[in-house]
Structure formats: C-alpha cells, structure tokens
Structure 1
Amino acid sequence: MPEHHKSKRLAGAALAALIVALPGSFAAAQKIAFEHYTLDNGLTVILHEDHRLPRVAVNLWYYVGSKDEPKGRSGFAHLFEHLMFMGTKNVPIGQFDNIMEGAGGSNNATTSSDRTNYFESGPGELLELFLFLEADRMTGLSRAMTLEKLNTQRGVVRNERRQSYENRPYGQLWLEIPALIYPAGHPYHHPVIGSHADLDNAAVSDVIDFFDGFYFPANASLAIAGDFDPEEARTLVKKYFGSIPRRAKITRKKPPAPTIEGVLRKTLTDAVELPLACFVWHSPAFYSEGDADMDIVASALARGKSSRLYRRLVYDKKLAQDVSAYQSSSLLGSKFIIQVFALPGADTKENLERLGAIEREVDAVVAELREGGVTAREIGRARNSTESAFWSALESLEEKADLLNRYLFHFGNPGAIERDLGRYSKVTAYSTSSWAKKVLKPNGRLILHVLPEEKKGGKQ
C-alpha cells in the first residue's frame, strides 16, 4: 500500500522497496559516499556529494508515525504532514509553497506507520532556502497554530480519507486490516489516515502537544544530497538548526509480537466489478531476518505472468483476472499479503463459490512452496528483474537522500547498502521454504472477501 502523500505530486517510490536482490559485485559497486555527524542538540546530519548536476535534495525524517499516536489521537502524524505547510510567524500561511516554487524548487511529504519525511529539491543555490524553511517550521509551527489552520487541514484530511479509502474501490480493505490483525493497544492497530472521530475531536492544544512531543532535533535526521560545498553545508546546518534547544531522545518499548489465532474471516461489499480475495499473514519486520526471504517468496508467487499463482489462477484454472503478492514491511513487524481479483460471477452465490475455489488453489500453491521453497531460477529471476530499477533509482538525488535516512533509521548507519543487499545473496531454496513454513501457515491468517454490491433484482 502506498504511503500517504501531499497531493501536489507523488513522492518518489521507496528505493528499498525496489530491492529484491542484486549480485554481490553490483552491491559492492554502489557504495554511497557520505559524511555523518550529530549536532549538539541531537540532530543527525548526513551529507552526500553528487556534482553531476547543479541540483540539491534535502530530506528530513521525523521519527514519528501513526504508531506513536496515543489513544484518541489517530491520524495526527498524517495531519501534521498537512499542517507543516500552514505557515509560521516568519513564513505566513500559504507562503511556504510560494517561496519554494517561486525560486524553482519543489517539495512534498509522506507519512507511514513508522516515520514522517519532508523533502525538497531544486537548483543547488536553494540549499540555504531549504534549510531555513525546514528549521523555521521545526521551531515555529506550534507557536503559530490556530483553530482556523487546524480546521482547514482537518477537513482536507477527512476528505482524503473519504476519497482514498471510503469511496475508492476496495479502499475499505485497508481501513479494516489493521484492527483485525493487531490487538487493541498495539501501535499498528489503527490506519495511518486515522479516524473521523479522532480528527474531529482534536483541539488546538492536542495538536500543539503532539508536535512538541515529537518534532525536535534529537527525534529527526537530515540528509542533504547533491551539488554543494560540504563546508558551506555544515555552516548552514549549524546556522539554522544549531540553536534549536536540545531535548532527550524518545525511548520506546517494543510491543509483543502479534499473533492470529486460527483463521479470521470477514466479508465486505463495495461498489466494484470484480470480487476480491485478500490473504494476510504476520511476517518479519523490515530488514530483520526473514524479510528478504519473504520478498523473494512474494516474487515467486505473483511477480509476472510466469509466477506460480498467476499461472494457476489466471491461465490454468481461469478463476482470476489478476493476482499480486508482496511483503509490506514495517519497523515493528510486517504483513505478507496476497490479493486475487476474481473473474465476476452472475450473482453473489457464484462469486462466493469462485472465491472459495480461489482459496483452495492459493492454499495448494502456497503449500507446494512451503515444502519445496523457491527455485534457483525464481531467485535469479527476482534478482535480475530489479537490478535495472535499482540502478535507475540510485541516479535520483531524492532517492539517495531518502535511502541514507532510511538506513540510519533502521540500521543506525547510513552506509548500510551492502548490508541491505547482502541479505538477498543469502536467500536459498531451503531458507525460503523455512520462512514460508513459519509465516504462511494455513492457520494464523486473515482472509478478507470483497463482493460487488448487488443491484436491484439480486443481480450485480
């Protein structure tokens, strides 16, 4: 599922999500040179020089996502993705984008369950402007918060929930899954977008408290990539961020690993043409042991028309129109998801029969993989098919800046590219079989059906 993003333009695809596996020699050749240091107030800074084009990218990660929202405050991290553009004393409402775009730059933001990032790119001479604007809202946003601003963005976010989930085909699915597979009190129990009730009940004081609790230097990291002088960059970072007061880092307790007892089932109806079967399992956390293996398993099951599930369900059995499988990875644990869009039946009864047949075929294919693992050919195909995409992504300053922040967040080291890619070189038929047996159990999963709404007369 894509992360939430501002509507101006789609945020660049997460580089790590493109990596399935690459040969060791390729990984070794793709080291990203960087300088890494920490200001006295706790802000971690990463500098990467790339002088091929006169451009610069700034990428600021705040270590706050929907998992950090207290009860009754769901959606606040994503709400701040919008509020951060509502102005400060120095940069009044509406001027952030005007100043940015008037100078030839662009900006955006994304929110996930684990973090929020804000990023800018443009001509190299805009580096000082980018740093001023980011530091200004880190220090001045809460002091300039008003009920009018909150109401404006509250309305925008609630409308986004309607458009992106409630009124979007199959969108209900992504609102239902978190509460079904994570227990109450777990940080992932609610969706990133939050609930209407929590957003509607938010007061200005609630918003200010949330901002002051998470948006400060020691809970953030700043990556700069592109055509800049490193000494000048260090001077500018200190100029704009160095005087922000130091606060202690946030300590978080890791929740117990969630489990699903038996098989959870739920059926939804929606204004859609095709019935959908969705299978969800808990799986290893992002970058943890087994995460790479499950990426390869997903590729073998449903990446391309020669994949196992596509061949079985679309070609051989003619039950489905399309199928996908992926490892949706997050810090505290991931979800392994298989989605099958069935060919439509004449009525609800026929659709349910077809979804039942699809479930039996999915179970059979997954059982075969659990026992035999992924073949060497499938592993090789997964590696080769993503090498060009990975290479292309490394050409982007924005992607490199985000990748450096991502590695720092997950590994504690921005230079973890070889460690990351090295995980995939260790994947074997045996390891994929072992992890598939641990993750893709017949029990311990959620099965969701989405049925087309019945029209008058009982027909669809």
Structure 2
Amino acid sequence: MISQKLKSQLKMLVGVGLVVGLAACTTAEKISVLPKPAIQLLEEVPATPGKASIAYSKYQLENGLTVILAPDHSDPLVHVDVTYHVGSAREVEGKSGFAHFFEHMMFQGSKHVGDQQHFKMITEAGGSLNGTTNRDRTNYFETVPSNQLEKVLWLESDRMGYLLEAVSQRKFEIQRDTVKNERAQNYENRPYGLMWERMGEALYPSDHPYSWQTIGYVEDLDRVDVNDLKAFFLRWYGPNNAVLTIGGDFEKEQALEWIEKYFGPIPRGPEVESAPKQPAVLPEDRYMTTEDRIQQPMLLIGWPTNYQGAEGNENIDMLARVLGSGRNSILYQKLVKTEKALDAGAFHQCAELACNFFVYVMADSSKRADLSPLYDEVMGILDGLKPEDIDPDFLKQVQGRAEADSVFALQSVRGKVTQLASNQTFYDQPDRLQTELDKLGKVTPDSVYKAYQTYIPNKHKVALSVVPRGKLELAAREATFDTPPRNLPEQKPILDSELDYRFVEDTFDRSKVPEAQGRYTVLCRSCIASIWTTILRC
C-alpha cells in the first residue's frame, strides 16, 4: 500500500511539473480571457444543489455550430462529442442507409488526416473513440487525456470541413462492401435479426422514414455511387446542424479559442428545418409471419403511441415497466413464472418522430411452441387489465429504478456529455434531466391506467410471429399482411458539377498536427517506472 507520504510526494511532483517534463510536454500558448466576438454566449447555467443538473455554458459560432462546455476537473480527462442532427430519418425512399454509411466514411480520413489516422492518433494518445447512428442523429466521440483536447478538435473539425476532399470511389466501394457484410452478419444471419425490419415495414407506409432500418437495404446501396453520398453529406453535415459538446478537465477560455480556430472557418451548410412528427397510424390489425433460423418462436406485438417528448410519455414508460420489467411484473408473473413462456416483457420505444409500445413473448420449443395460445394469453392479460392491477408499491419500485438509471448515467464525464448533447439536439435544452425526473415523480397508478386505456385496448396493432423455417403453422395467427414490393423511384445519377461544394478558408496551417498541451500527458511505461523508483528511494 502506498503511504500518505509517498502520495504527497507524487502529488508534489505532478504539481511542480516534473511528470510533465519527463513526458516532454509543450507549453500552452497564452490564452485570452474572453471568448472572441465570433462566438456568442447563449446561456450559462449553474448546477442546482439537490437536483440532477449539470453546470454548462452554451455558445454559438457565426456558422451556426452550437457549442456546450461543461468543465469538470475531477479527473484529467476530456470527452468530446460531435452530434449531427441527421439519421436514417433524413434519408429518402430508395436511398436508405446513407447516414450509417457516413458513420463508416467519417473514419476513413479527411484532407489533412490520412486513412485510419483518426483511430491511430486517438489510441496512441491513450484515448478511445467511436461513432453511432440511429434514426434521428449521428454522433462521434472521443475520450482522451485532457492535454489532447486541441488534437481532438482539430480531428473533428477536419472531417466536418474537409471530408469530401478525401472521399473517393474506391473508398466508397470498400465501405459499401463493409456495410453490406455488416447487414448480413447482424441482420440477415443473426437469429431474430430481421424482426425489427419487418415490424417497421408493417407499422409505417413505405415512404415513412422509420419504415426502414438504419442499416438500409442492400438494393439501395447497390444503386447509388459516391456522388449520392457526397450530396447527402453536403445537405446535412454542416456546422449549423451540429452540436459540439465538451466535458471534463479543461479551461473554457482556451477551449473556445481552439473551437473558433478550427471550427470557425467552416462554412455554414443549407438551412435545416425540424422534421414533422409522424406517429404511425394503422388502418387495421396486421398479422405478419416471418421464418428464421431459430428454435424458439417469438411473438412481437406493437401499438403506435405518440412521439419523443410528448406529454404523458412517462406514464406509457411506466406502464411498460409494470407490465414487463422484472420478476414482479405482470407478464413475468402470468407467463414466465407459470412456465407458459420462456421470456416475456414490454417496453416503450421512442424516437423523434414516432413512438411505439411493444410486448414480446418467447415460446418454449421443448414444450408447446405454438404461438397461438400465447397470443391469446397476452391479449387476455392486456384486454382485461384493471385499475387495481397497477400495484402502487411495484409502481414506486419501477419509478425508483428508472430514476436511478437516469442519475447513475451522470456518474461519468461521458454520461454527462451524452446527456447534454442529446437534449440540445432534440429539445434545444441541454440540461432537462430534472424536468424528466419531476414528471416521473408525478406518475400514479391512475395516470398509468389512463395511458393504457389511451393506447392499448381496442387499438389497431401489428402482431409479428417469428417462427423456425418450415414451421409456419406455429404462427399466432394466419398472416393478413406482407411487406409490399418496393417501387423504387428511377435513379438519376448526380454529376459532380451539380454538387454544391463548400470550401474552407483557413488563416493557419491546418496540416500541422497539434501537440499535447497542458499539465497532463500520457507517460511511457519506462517514465512511470522511473518516477516510482525515485519516489520509493526517498
């Protein structure tokens, strides 16, 4: 065990800069006290004592980039998130999968960053990175030692402003094959992998952006070329459609100076309007059956509800937990505990444009695998739900669990940054967790039952049976709906001359990779060993 004396000695070494000196850290340039006029402070919000809140400052650059800064000096790390308000919902029929495709392309180098160099620079700096795409947004994020912040901002700004200069037909074709392989591996050849694609096709009309999955259709990827991809980037990946969020150990003034330097020259993209809310509307009950390489048949039932952020969503969320979350839930007690099913549950899946309530149940193939009696059981439970079935004590339990999940997500710098970035992107309100928790605290058995009455009984639904291949007789009901053939619009090639390129005009040498700044540096193992040897000899 390290003695208090040794701890003090190490702390003193760091304090006087010996650790940094061993790592050959460069000295930071003198910084300005105030942000440059090109960056406008929109709001500065302190943390509220006793509340689940995050202190932050929100700015906007002249090009429309929204910036959120949330310093936290508890650990020598920073987490950087760039969220673009574009996902598969911004695609058009016949050109699905573009947003996810770009998640791949954004890691293939930009004008001043070579192929695979983004990964290499971050990992060599001791950091981690990734990107994710869903229906409504795409984000890229890095966690690095705090002295690497400038390098991360340089990297992210280069792919925002200079990506297309490194995009080629060869890279496009390589990544297209990668995406097609990903679809085959994670969807087509994975048990139950196409279940959600089939459900989306039944819930929504073919021109609804939620009718296809983020991965897209292979035939759509095969019918486009690199200029289609460039056009998608030019339409949606401008700074005015992005949120840059930084949390962790950094100084705001220095961060703002770097942000203005690297992101400020990037031209504004086309204006982006909010997409209209489009909850699903079903004209009738729809029964579907799909065959898969599985042993245990699965039944998935979906009811349209509303959209993300709608009033009353907390009641539907708690209805799902009361019905299908944990061993004390209604579905578990009546189906799993009684050995009528292997598994059963419920959840409320929400996205920006539409939400749906789902119930699932898995049959036991070692007993009776027929989904028909399970469907009758599930619908009997749901149609016969009474106010007294919403147990107040269990409701309090699941409310507490939901609150704890939300609060625990803020324990890490990454969790805080993710919360701020997401809420800014979708609500223009970075720190709204306490608002959600306040709504959650007002949920009662009566409000949960009213939500149930609004969306479940006598409402149209989709019931999807997933059965083993060649076992159509195990379906819950005879199929009344099948995915209609896709009538794709004619594909017109986009000429390079038709692309409205945006060019960045810098006043500095962007090809120069920023060096580590500040007082923290990733140390080589021999340096660390040398430091500890020196201390232990004292």
Q: Same fold (TM over 0.5)?
A: yes
CA distance in 1, matches of 2:386, 2:201: 28
Are the counterparts in 1 of residues 399 and 441 from structure 2 also a CA contact under 8 Å?
Answer: no
Q: One-letter code of the match for 1:287?
A: G
Cα distance in 2, alignment partners of residues 374 and 408 from structure 1 = 34
Identity %: 36
Residues 426/209 of structure 1: CA separation in 2 closer, same or farther (3 Å cut): same
Q: Does structure 2 retain, via aligned residues, the 8 Å contact 1:261–1:443?
A: no
1:370, distance to aligned residue in structure 2 (A): 5.9
1:340 aligns with 2:365: no
- Partners of 1:140 and 1:146 lie apart in 2 by 13
Q: Distance in 2 between matches of 1:46 and 1:370?
A: 46
Name whichever structure is richer in helix by fraction: 1
Check the 8 A contact 2:278/2:354 in 1, yes or no. no
* CA–CA separation in structure 2 for the residues paired with 1:193 and 1:248: 25
Matched, 1:351 2:351: no
Question: Aligned partner of 2:133: which letter?
Answer: T
Which residues of 2 match residues 15-164 of structure 1 at below 5 A? 28-164=50-186
How far off is 1:387 after superposition?
4.2
- Residue pair 1:60, 1:118 contacting (<8 A) in 2 also: yes
Q: 1:373 to 1:39 in 2, by over 3 A?
A: farther
Query: Structure 1 stretch 368-377 or stretch 410-419: which is displaced more?
Result: 368-377
Q: Does 1:185 align with 2:201?
A: no
The 5 Å alignment of 1:271-420 reads 271-316=293-338, 318-344=339-365, 351-352=369-370, 355-369=371-385, 371-372=387-388, 374-420=390-436
Q: Name the count of aligned residue pairs.
A: 425
- State the 1:255 CA deviation: 5.2
Question: Can you list the C-alpha shifts for 1:161-206, whole angstroms capped at 9, x where unaligned?
Answer: 1111110001110121111101122121211110001111221110
Counterpart selection for 1:427 from 420, 443, 446: 443
Question: What displacement does 1:351 show?
Answer: 2.9
Shift of 1:273: 1.4
Sort the Cα spacing of 1:370 and 1:222 in 2 relative to 1 into closer, same or farther, 3 A.
Answer: farther
Amino acid paired to 1:377? D
Q: How far apart are the structure 2 equivalents of 1:172 and 1:386?
A: 29
CA distance in 1 between counterparts of 2:420 and 2:389 reads: 33
Task: Give the deviation of 1:94 after TM superposition.
Answer: 1.4
Whether 1:242 and 2:274 are equivalent positions in the alignment is: no
Which 10-residue stretch deviates more, 418-427 or 191-200?
Answer: 418-427
Give the alignment's TM-score, normalised by structure 2. Answer: 0.76
Aligned-pair CA distance for 1:253:
4.5
Name structure 2 gaps, 5 residues minimum.
1-47, 475-538
Q: Name the SS for the 2:69 alignment partner.
A: strand
* Structure number, greater radius of gyration: 2
How big is the shift at 1:404?
Answer: 0.2
Amino acid of the residue matched to residue 382 of structure 1? V
- Counterpart of 2:291? 269
Work out whether 1:446 is the aligned partner of 2:462: yes
Quick one: structure 1 residues 274 and 383, their matched pair in 2 at CA, closer, same or farther if it must change by over 3 Å? same
2:188 — aligned with what? 166
Which residue does the alignment assign to 1:3?
none
Q: Whole-Å Cα distance in 2 between the matches of residues 60 and 229 of structure 1?
A: 19
TM-score, structure 1 as length reference: 0.89
Kept in 1: contact 2:349–2:355 (CA 8 A): yes
SS class of match (1:320): coil
Coordinate RMSD, CA, aligned: 1.9
| Partners of 1:70 and 1:373 in 2: CA distance | 44
1:51 CA displacement: 0.8
Q: Secondary structure at the match of 1:42?
A: coil
Displacement after TM superposition at 1:371 (Å):
4.6
Judging changes above 3 Å, is the alpha-carbon distance between structure 1 residues 170 and 69 closer, same or farther for their aligned structure 2 residues?
same
Structure 1 residue 369 displacement after superposition: 3.5
What is the alpha-carbon distance in structure 2 between the residues aligned to residue 373 and residue 49 of structure 1?
46
Q: Partner amino acid for 1:332? A: L
For 2:275 and 2:411, the matched residues in 1 are separated by: 37
Q: 1:297/1:442 Cα in 2 relative to 1: closer, same or farther (>3 Å)?
A: same
The amino acid of 1:331's aligned partner reads: E
